[in-house]
Amino acid sequence: MHPVTLSKLTRYAVICLSVTSSIGLMAQCNPEVLAETTPSQRFYTLDVTRVKDLKTGLMWQRCPVGARGVQCDQGLAQRMNWQQAQQQAPATSDPYRWRLPTIKELPTLVEARCAMPAINTDTFPATPSAKFWTSSSSELNTNEAWFVDFERGKTNDANQLDRYFVRLVRTLRLEERTQ
- For 71-117, write each residue's pLDDT tens digit: 999 999 999 999 999 999 876 667 679 999 999 999 999 999 999 99
Q: Note whether 147 and 64 are within 8 A (CB).
A: no
Closest listed residue to residue 135, CA positions, set 97, 106, 101, 171: 101
- Rounded to the nearest 10 degrees, how much is the dihedral formed by the CA atoms of 20, 25, 31, 32? -10
Total tally of structural domains belonging to the chain: 1
Containing domain of residue 49, as a range?
3-177
Supply the Cα-derived Rg of the chain in whole angstroms. Answer: 18
- For 135-147, write each residue's pLDDT tens digit: 999 999 999 999 9
Assess whether pLDDT exceeds 90 at residue 42: yes
Assess whether pLDDT exceeds 90 at residue 28: yes
Q: What is the CATH number of the domain that holds 53?
A: 3.10.100
Instruction: Report phi then psi at 114, rounded to 5.
Output: -120, 160
Average pLDDT score over the chain = 86
Beta-carbon contacts of residue 133 (< 8 Å; ≥ 6 apart): 80, 82, 85, 100, 145, 146, 147, 164, 165, 166
The whole-angstrom separation of Cα 131 and Cα 150 is: 6
What pLDDT, on the 0 to 100 scale, is given for residue 92?
66
CA 145 distance to own-chain centroid: 16
Burial per residue of 154-165, b for 16 or more beta-carbon CB atoms within 10 angstroms, e otherwise: eeebbebeeebb
pTM for the model stands at 0.83
Max Cα-Cα span within the chain: 67
